[in-house]
Amino acid sequence: MDKKNFTNSISSDDKSLISNLYDKIKLAELTYKPVFTNEFVPPNVWKGIESLQANFDVNIFSYGIFRDSERRILAFSKDEVYDYPVMIIRIENKSKFIKLGHKDFLGALVGLGIRREKLGDLVIDEGICYAAICEDIFDYLKLNLNKVGNCPCEIRLVDLNDIQQIKKNTMDSIISTTSLRLDCIVGSLCNLSRAKAVSLIQSSKVLVDYSEVLEKDFNVEIDSIITIRGYGKFKISEQTGATQKGRLKLLVKKYI
């Protein structure tokens, strides 16, 4: 597969990123050594590249530390990859009076001048933030991250073996829909009419796997992450069956 076809096959507005990933794949093919990305990529990128596996002479792996990670590091290698250039940090809010959320921790990290791509998923568990990061920014974070908002904080590394039970805060629900078309899914998730769901889509308020989608008849795949501005973020986890009227029943996880 040539670079042009590869770039056009991936649903991403950042074509320079996709071009760079193609070069990394070719480098891995040439050197027979593992080649990694030095940043985390969103689902539309890693899913798209994994789907092109058959076109290359190296294996394509993705890893984000957490179970069902959304943002992941990519690795291109002939052999299985076990060591990725990533770490997991634990950020503890030392204030007993202020409760911090995901946006507070993310804001503090980005506020240090760190690009979002150097950070993977952030999971909040009992007021503590566990963040996947590229290993090359740990020393900088250790020296500079001492507050989240106005709250003093403590940061330390976590052993990767100790985070198996940490999972994102989600609320499960079952929705029914006539099909996997985007307008049907959005209508069911938000309890809206088809017309209002179409209006949300056409107003650029709906993203699928972090990519803006404007086509109402776009087919949503299982495991897709749907972000609807003003309503929240949802993962379409699995199809659980059908109703007596033939509507699809879907298990949905809403991030809270």
As assigned by CATH, the class of the 170-255 domain is alpha beta
* pLDDT of res. 165: 66
* pLDDT of res. 66: 87
Pick one of 3.40.50, 3.30.1370, 2.30.30, 3.90.1200 as the CATH number of 12-77.
3.30.1370
CATH architecture for segment(s) 86-162: 2-Layer Sandwich (3.30)
Residues 128-140: pLDDT tens digits? 999 999 999 999 9
* pLDDT of res. 164: 67
Residues in contact with 120: Cβ distance below 8 Å, sequence separation at least 6, in sequence order: 40, 64, 65, 66, 69, 71, 72, 73, 86, 131, 132, 133
Mean model confidence pLDDT for the chain:
92
pLDDT band at 162 (very low <50, low <70, confident <90, very high): confident
**Whether this model's pTM surpasses 0.95:** no
Pairwise pLDDT comparison (139 vs 127), residue with the higher score: 139
Residues 68-97: pLDDT tens digits? 889 999 999 999 998 999 999 999 999 988
pLDDT band at 114 (very low <50, low <70, confident <90, very high): very high
Residue range(s) occupied by CATH 3.10.290.10 in the chain: 170-255
Residue range(s) occupied by CATH 3.30.70.330 in the chain: 86-162
Residue range(s) occupied by CATH 3.30.1370 in the chain: 12-77
